[in-house]
Structure 1
Amino acid sequence: MSSIGATGVAAPGWSFITERAAALLHVLVACWIFSGGLVMAEPSPYELVFLVVLAVSLLGGFALHRATLGLLVLFVAFIPFATIAAFQVRYVPLTQALIFSLVTIFLIFTGYFVANYVADAPQRRTRLIVRAYIAIALISAVLGTLGYLGLIPRADLFTLYGRAKALFKDPNVYGPFLVLPAMYALQRVLLGSPKRMAWGAVIFVTLFIGVFASFSRAAWGHFVVSAALVYFLVFVLEAHARDKVRMLLLALGGLGLLVVALAGLLSIPEVGSFFEMRAGAQSYDQGETGRFGRQGYAFELALANPLGIGPLEFRNLLIMEEPHNTYVNVLHVYGWGGGLVYIAMILVTLWRGAAALAYRSPNRLLLIPLMATYVPLCIEAAIIDTDHWRHFFLVTGLIWGVTAAYQRAAPHERGRLSALV
């Protein structure tokens, strides 16, 4: 059947398909975001569901926005550098190197997709994404915490090295994954109605305990800095006088409750001793082959190899463990061009988000938790590899999407707290 009739009007059959596809797309996007917490094998459900989302979005008349063109340019510019770098490998099989580069390209594209999806209706679509994210984050936090405490069957499936990981492969990814939904919950506590505030508090505390049980020092710092940023930005940019009084009282009471919860966890002997061990300096951070020594060596490799050494090559050279610094990693893996494009993507995203926060908008409450999460993520990238973290690119895309349509809101979405998730 032809999609367009002789008069230039869409044929009824095609219109039916596009309408159904557009309606189905929102359900699939929610399923896709939910699958982001199921990453025990690769390819994970996240990649597979996205392919379905992409196909349905094409049928449903998915729109591209001019305001996201910058992210598209960076995405296209990165592709040749990442492809060329894959052919520089000497020890790693070429197919493995190409797959690694393709995964990075794929994840950047998911960020571009999210940016355009959200830009069509920032409040409605960000709310859909965040609610799906909160659902899987709560499940992950409960599974991880109960697994860590040994209170469920097959608890070892949800832990690694005595640390909670839920359905992730690594506690160091699981912990930061919980931060963004916790920040939306915190914002709800600060500004929401009593009912919203109560639910937000339950979600926030649950995710806080989940992050603690990951025993990831980076995740701990990430959570604290993000929470402080949400509090500060809401206090300065959005809170009225009455809100500020409530926020000050909540800060005192909330910190007290968190201290009590933390003290309760640390009172368990096994938890207390493990916390003391994790909070101290680790042997793998020190020396020439420690974290910072590896980063220096990786930077020297980057300077000596303009085209990059290719994915996964570093572990086959002088030092077997990865450098754990995303900025150095992208330079020595994807070459000078690929590394600089990747870093430019991060810097431009930070600039867009920070610039938008300076302006009043009905959508600013969508952006505050995103930026409060993204800034520490970018700092965290200096001590851990985040270039294959799915939620990193999700947050990137959300920032681009919200800022691309920063002033766009339906009449019923222009209330002061209408964007509160």
Structure 2
Amino acid sequence: MSDAVTHFAPPFRPQLAAVGVFGSALVTLGVFLSGFVIAEPAPYEVFMAGLIGMWAIFGLRISRNVAPLLALLLTFNIGGMLSLTVMTDMADGPIYIAVSLFLALSAVFFAAIIEARPQRLQLIFRAWVASALITSLLGILGYFHAFPGSEAFTLYDRAKGAFQDPNVFGPFLVAPSLYLMHGLLAGRLLGAPLKIVGVVILALGVFLSFSRAAWALYLFSVVALVFVMLLKERTAVFRLKILTLSICAAGAMVVALVFALQSSAVSNLFSSRTQLVQEYDGGHLGRFDRHRIGFLMSMEKPLGIGPMVFSTMFPEDEHNIWLKSLTTYGWMGFLSYLTLAIWTFAAGFQSLLRDRPWQPYLMISFLTFCGHTAVGFVIDTDHWRHLYLLIGVIWGCRALELRHNRPRHDGERP
């Protein structure tokens, strides 16, 4: 993907070029920081809030192609603000909605800067890979107590890397894994060994998170990636290459997992986590019972019940993004989120197999987004920073596609 977007460069102007390079470097740093969220507010929030504010002052342009994303996310958050009005004790409710609004603006920001300079796609994903490798290694080393204080990177005997929750740590590693796998399958064989090592590190991090949602997300995304690449590239040589490298990568991951399972602690926890329905899922007021009761309750609460109120009424949080959108953002928020999910899916699917410079990035983001949408039925993804990054990438690629397809006058650049 090294030559992915080079022919979209604008006319060269030294001053603008220098500003663009500096801005892209800041974006790269911001994405890199997304892998380190041990405490809140994390460095990512502080840095990105300043970057978005600075970019807005100096000319962040929201085109008509990105404007629907802004409108949907603002409507979603207005629903959240209205839900605050029904709370008897707001407590941390306003802060929760403020974080939601920041993440919404971050998605719009990424979409806008990708449309303005598609070369940033490569920088974004390389920064994401670097961040994922470091946080995955921290989780792996922490799990095996490789150095004093390493337990800071685990929670409940599960790897969490530089995150607060293993259930966020695992899914964060999936898109970078797909990026490395795509480079492995579509790139030169010379760089294959390093990519395989990277894939194994990330796969082991996902495994040691012991998050069933992350496992399902990873498996779905990898299989879908290989399937889509086989659909797009139909030559026998390419298919043989994909088959051979897929077997090698799968073999390396199996060896790594077998090695990890030699530990009795890993083996016992793996045996426990592979049960499809845990006691806290199917028991009285378990996950699924709370879903049923929560949806029935939400039918009588058009404004919702407010952020983090659900956990004061039931043993745990909603653990369902659709129920979360109803309880925290009301009917308005639910409809906005549903529309956003459908529109984002349609935008990605329509361009999935088109021969475009940005197609690999769109494919990786789209497949990972689909997986996140599915696991959202059993887990809250509301404040997952990387999910908003995925949405921003898809909408940025959608904007590029619309710009690419519009009628042009003679002499106009594509």
TM-score > 0.5, shorter chain as reference: yes
Partner-residue secondary structure (3-state), 2:101? helix
Question: Hey, what's the Cα distance between the residues in 1 that align with 2:17 and 2:249?
Answer: 46
User: Is 2:214 the partner of 1:219?
Assistant: yes
Following TM superposition, by how much is the alpha carbon of 1:361 offset from its aligned partner in structure 2, in angstroms?
2.0
Could you tell me which of 271, 289, 293 is aligned with 1:293?
A: 289
- Residue in structure 1 matched with residue 160 of structure 2 by the alignment: 165
- Listed as ranges, the matches of 1:233-244 within 5 Å are 233-238=228-233, 240-244=235-239
Could you tell me which of 270, 277, 284 is aligned with 2:280?
A: 284
User: Is 2:58 the partner of 1:51?
Assistant: no
Give the letter aligned to residue 74 of structure 2.
V
- Residue in structure 1 matched with residue 304 of structure 2 by the alignment: 308
2:160 and 2:209 in contact (8 A); partners too: yes
* Residue deviations 1:52-94 (CA, integer Å, cap 9, x gap): 211332354333222112102212322322111112113xx32
User: Is 2:99 the partner of 1:137?
Assistant: no
Could you tell me which of 121, 135, 144 is aligned with 1:149?
A: 144
Partner-residue secondary structure (3-state), 2:92? helix
1:330/1:314 CA distance change after superposition, 3 Å: same
Question: Hey, what's the Cα distance between the residues in 2 that align with 1:259 and 1:17?
Answer: 51
User: Is 2:263 the partner of 1:268?
Assistant: yes
Partner-residue secondary structure (3-state), 1:66? coil
Question: Hey, what's the Cα distance between the residues in 1 that align with 2:241 and 2:18?
Answer: 45
Give the letter aligned to residue 231 of structure 1.
V
User: Is 2:94 the partner of 1:105?
Assistant: no
Give the letter aligned to residue 171 of structure 1.
P
Question: Hey, what's the Cα distance between the residues in 2 that align with 1:391 and 1:213?
Answer: 20
1:240/1:264 CA distance change after superposition, 3 Å: same
Could you tell me which of 169, 173, 198 is aligned with 1:174?
A: 169
- Residue in structure 1 matched with residue 346 of structure 2 by the alignment: 351
Question: Hey, what's the Cα distance between the residues in 1 that align with 2:17 and 2:286?
Answer: 56
Partner-residue secondary structure (3-state), 1:304? coil
Could you tell me which of 394, 398, 419 is aligned with 2:393?
A: 398
User: Is 2:370 the partner of 1:375?
Assistant: yes
1:191 and 1:197 in contact (8 A); partners too: no
2:52 and 2:106 in contact (8 A); partners too: no
Partner-residue secondary structure (3-state), 1:357? coil
Partner-residue secondary structure (3-state), 1:41? coil
1:18 and 1:61 in contact (8 A); partners too: no
- Which region of structure 1 is more displaced relative to structure 2, 170-179 or 68-77? 68-77
Question: Hey, what's the Cα distance between the residues in 2 that align with 1:84 and 1:270?
Answer: 47
- Listed as ranges, the matches of 1:62-77 within 5 Å are 62-77=60-75
Give the letter aligned to residue 179 of structure 2.
Y
Following TM superposition, by how much is the alpha carbon of 1:358 offset from its aligned partner in structure 2, in angstroms?
4.2
1:95/1:321 CA distance change after superposition, 3 Å: closer
Q: TM-score, normalised by structure 2?
A: 0.90
Following TM superposition, by how much is the alpha carbon of 1:142 offset from its aligned partner in structure 2, in angstroms?
0.4
Following TM superposition, by how much is the alpha carbon of 1:239 offset from its aligned partner in structure 2, in angstroms?
5.1
Could you tell me which of 104, 110, 114 is aligned with 2:110?
A: 114
- Which region of structure 1 is more displaced relative to structure 2, 354-363 or 152-161? 354-363
Question: Hey, what's the Cα distance between the residues in 2 that align with 1:16 and 1:253?
Answer: 46
* Residue deviations 1:340-360 (CA, integer Å, cap 9, x gap): 101211111111001111433
* Residue deviations 1:267-316 (CA, integer Å, cap 9, x gap): 22221111111112321111231110011111112101011111111112
- Which region of structure 1 is more displaced relative to structure 2, 162-171 or 54-63? 54-63
Alignment gaps of 5+ in structure 1: 1-14, 410-421
- Which region of structure 1 is more displaced relative to structure 2, 130-139 or 258-267? 258-267
Question: Hey, what's the Cα distance between the residues in 2 that align with 1:256 and 1:16?
Answer: 49
Question: Hey, what's the Cα distance between the residues in 2 that align with 1:305 and 1:240?
Answer: 55
1:38/1:253 CA distance change after superposition, 3 Å: closer
Give the letter aligned to residue 288 of structure 2.
F
Question: Hey, what's the Cα distance between the residues in 1 that align with 2:147 and 2:287?
Answer: 35
- Residue in structure 2 matched with residue 85 of structure 1 by the alignment: 83
2:159 and 2:209 in contact (8 A); partners too: yes
1:21 and 1:59 in contact (8 A); partners too: no
State, as a whole percentage, how many aligned pairs show the same letter: 35
Q: TM-score, normalised by structure 1?
A: 0.89
Superposition CA RMSD, Å: 1.9
- Residue in structure 1 matched with residue 194 of structure 2 by the alignment: 199
Following TM superposition, by how much is the alpha carbon of 1:333 offset from its aligned partner in structure 2, in angstroms?
1.6
1:21 and 1:60 in contact (8 A); partners too: no
Question: Hey, what's the Cα distance between the residues in 1 that align with 2:34 and 2:359?
Answer: 25
2:196 and 2:249 in contact (8 A); partners too: no
* Residue deviations 1:148-174 (CA, integer Å, cap 9, x gap): 011122011100000101111000000
Give the letter aligned to residue 104 of structure 1.
S
Alignment gaps of 5+ in structure 2: 1-12, 405-414
Question: Hey, what's the Cα distance between the residues in 1 that align with 2:25 and 2:121?
Answer: 13
1:292 and 1:323 in contact (8 A); partners too: no
- Residue in structure 2 matched with residue 6 of structure 1 by the alignment: none
1:18 and 1:60 in contact (8 A); partners too: no
1:203/1:303 CA distance change after superposition, 3 Å: same
Following TM superposition, by how much is the alpha carbon of 1:320 offset from its aligned partner in structure 2, in angstroms?
2.5
Give the letter aligned to residue 156 of structure 1.
E
1:261/1:23 CA distance change after superposition, 3 Å: closer
- Residue in structure 2 matched with residue 251 of structure 1 by the alignment: 246
